[in-house]
Amino acid sequence: MRVGEHYGTTSNTYLLTEEKWAETERAWRAVHESLVAECAGLGSDVSVLPLPDNVSSVVPRILDAEGKFPNLGDEDIVGPMERAAAVNCFSEDRHGSRQFWRNLAGKVGLRK
């Protein structure tokens, strides 16, 4: 989850994402606790470890001086923008397409 990196930790999107993660965690915890209670009620000898309350769902930030991808090098990931050479249009092609549209318009009845 890199919402904080893309939108910033003060953004509305980040806040909504954190709320959604908390809601999902509450739902999973409720399901887990109900299953543990059901297994205990059936008398099964399944050993269940309780979920710790201090589990964090926050992804740690990368604060490395070498960059995100030290093996590749950041300069190889995002390089300078290069423009492709413009395609030269030949006058024959332009004339040919103009002639095509004129013939088509004549056949359809758009030309007078």
7 CB-near residues (< 8 Å, 6+ apart): 13, 14
When pLDDT is averaged across residues 7-13 and rounded to a whole number, the result is 80
pLDDT digits (tens, 9 = 90+) for 47-60: 656 666 776 666 66
Question: Residue 9: pLDDT above 70?
Answer: yes
Q: How confident is the model at residue 11 (pLDDT cuts 50, 70, 90)?
A: confident
> What would the two tokens of residue 101 be?
């549209």
- Over residues 23-69, the pLDDT tens digits come to 999 999 999 889 888 887 877 655 656 666 776 666 666 666 655 55
| Tokens 């930790």 belong to residue | 9
